[in-house]
Structure 1
Amino acid sequence: MPTDFKGTVLITGCSDGGAGSAMAIEFQTRGYHVFATSRRLDTMSRVGSLPNVKLLQLDITKPGEIRAAVEAVRIETGGTLDYLVDCAARNHFMPLMDENIETAKALFDTNVWGQLAMTQAFVPLLKQIKGTVVFITSLSGYLNVPYQASKRSAEIMAETMRLELAPFQVKVLSVVTGALKTNGQSHFDNWKLPEGSLYSPVEDAIRARARGQEGAPRMEASDYAKRVVSEIIRGRMGKFWYGASAGAVKFGNSYLPEWMMDSAVQIKTGLDVLGRGNK
């Protein structure tokens, strides 16, 4: 690999239109050699033709594919990696009373245990160059949104790793991410509640929120990537809140009473409507 790069970065979850893809483009623009990964190579058309970007097929729940990615990076870099950005995640939306437990377990396999497996596998390369692990988590983990329990778990795990890896001079940063604008068809397009759900009277409101159509502000992924990549490169550690409404939610969780935050979260979910109807 040429030596005129500023550094190397592997980013998981680089499918077109998401935060991973936007960060891959931003790192590449700034002179880094990027390993962009996704479960399928054909989902990374936006970064595939860029110079200094190598595409790797990687499902972070499959140990064999993780080992193959480590070996590919080791061969190309000589055994080092500056940044590992754990961005790959599965999105999911369903009231907990209607949740399929096996589906929820699969969600945690990607959003929690897959992130841990990636970090375990790449720490030997990061240690060689005093690199950084970055966890992309979610603002919704602070808003009692069921599917984001996995992202909050990853954030707690990241804070533990920050302490465990400090003696080896490997930095850890978790980015609490606000809502981003997305492009293309959503896997929530065919979303529906199961028959007999307690929440059937407000299904339309829940469906709109699942699809990101509830009217909440959202940030362009490219704008998000510019700021987050800057923070990563300058060596930020710990926890960083960024994205639409991130500052407001951080303030609310720090200083406002729980009932006030709960009232705000219930707006446009249909839960407030159900509550009034069951008094």
Structure 2
Amino acid sequence: MSKLENMTDVRPLQLDVTKPSDIEAAAAAVSEETGGTLTYLINCAARNHFMPLLDEDIEAGKALYDTNVWGPLAVTQAFAPLLIKAKGTVVFITSLSGYLNVPYQGIFAASKKSEEIMAETLRLELAPFHVGVLSVVTGALKTMGQTHFDDWKLPEGSLYAPIESTIRDRARGQEGAPRMEAVDYAKRVVSEIIRGRTGKFWYGASAGAVKFGTSYLPTSLMDSGVQIKTGLDVLAEQNK
């Protein structure tokens, strides 16, 4: 927020998408400021997450869904009257991970794919009210925060303990995968939103390659690619 607060015509608002009181207050503030309309609503709040599914804390997984799935839906419900009045557009920032079986990202990927399915359904349900819906299938960005993974660790007794350091590096974004500058990503996505695009839009690092691969290449080939540098080969060797 500190990067935005001194910009002309920008009014930062506190909005934790898991807190109904924050959502209600933000919707009321926007409605008062604009006379009850909103041209664009962009749902981009999300939490990343890394953990082998056998080690997953179910309650932690539910909390992730509160941010990545139920939060965006709650925000959209609250702002829907303003969007309908403006014949506006609602945008959901989703993820390439929803199309790949990336080890250790199962819960995150499932949450973002769930968000995308909601977006695609809302695209039909909001069409009678002249509200457009765009879901952006997003590749990795260079500025994605990883500091909260510095103390990441597996639970005691994990079958994946021999490769814990490898998983931790991946959680920190140190796996060597290409990443796009956030500013470059934002400029292109904003241009697509402003020109009225709806439906599904793929953009970001490796987005084109993943779209092609998941559409035309065999699953076995895609699986081979996503397992590179995951440490699963080390586990396989140890468990012969």
User: What's 2:55 paired with?
Assistant: 98
Matched, 1:241 2:198: no
Percent of residue pairs bearing the same amino acid type: 75
Q: What's the offset of the Cα at 1:68?
A: 0.6
Which amino acid letter does the alignment assign opposite residue 173 of structure 2?
Answer: G
Which amino acid letter does the alignment assign opposite residue 20 of structure 2?
Answer: P
| 1:176 aligned counterpart, secondary structure | strand
Segments of 5+ residues of structure 2 without an aligned counterpart are none
Which amino acid letter does the alignment assign opposite residue 150 of structure 1?
Answer: S
Segments of 5+ residues of structure 1 without an aligned counterpart are 1-43
Separation (CA, whole Å) in 2 of partners of 1:85 and 1:111: 13
User: What's 1:52 paired with?
Assistant: 9
Whether contact under 8 Å (2:89, 2:132) holds in the other structure is yes
Separation (CA, whole Å) in 2 of partners of 1:241 and 1:184: 21
| 2:91 aligned counterpart, secondary structure | strand
Give aligned pairs, total.
236
User: For the aligned residues, what is the CA RMSD?
Assistant: 1.1
Separation (CA, whole Å) in 2 of partners of 1:135 and 1:183: 17
Q: What's the offset of the Cα at 1:58?
A: 0.8
The 3 A distance-change label for structure 1 pair 149 and 184 is: closer
Matched, 1:158 2:116: no
Q: 1:221-262 CA deviation, whole Å, 9 max, x = no partner?
A: 000000000000001111000000000111110001111111
Whether contact under 8 Å (2:146, 2:173) holds in the other structure is no
- Out of 139, 144, 147, the position equivalent to 1:178 is 139
Q: TM-score, normalised by structure 2?
A: 0.96
Which amino acid letter does the alignment assign opposite residue 66 of structure 1?
Answer: I
User: What's 2:25 paired with?
Assistant: 68
Separation (CA, whole Å) in 1 of partners of 2:86 and 2:146: 40
Which amino acid letter does the alignment assign opposite residue 82 of structure 1?
Answer: T
Separation (CA, whole Å) in 2 of partners of 1:208 and 1:70: 39
Matched, 1:201 2:158: no
- Out of 197, 214, 232, the position equivalent to 1:271 is 232
Q: 1:39-68 CA deviation, whole Å, 9 max, x = no partner?
A: xxxxx1111111111010111111111111
- Out of 131, 152, 165, the position equivalent to 1:191 is 152
User: What's 2:186 paired with?
Assistant: 225
| 2:3 aligned counterpart, secondary structure | helix
User: What's 1:255 paired with?
Assistant: 216
- Out of 43, 49, 66, the position equivalent to 1:86 is 43
Whether contact under 8 Å (2:93, 2:135) holds in the other structure is yes
Which amino acid letter does the alignment assign opposite residue 172 of structure 1?
Answer: V
Q: TM-score, normalised by structure 1?
A: 0.82
More strand by share: 1
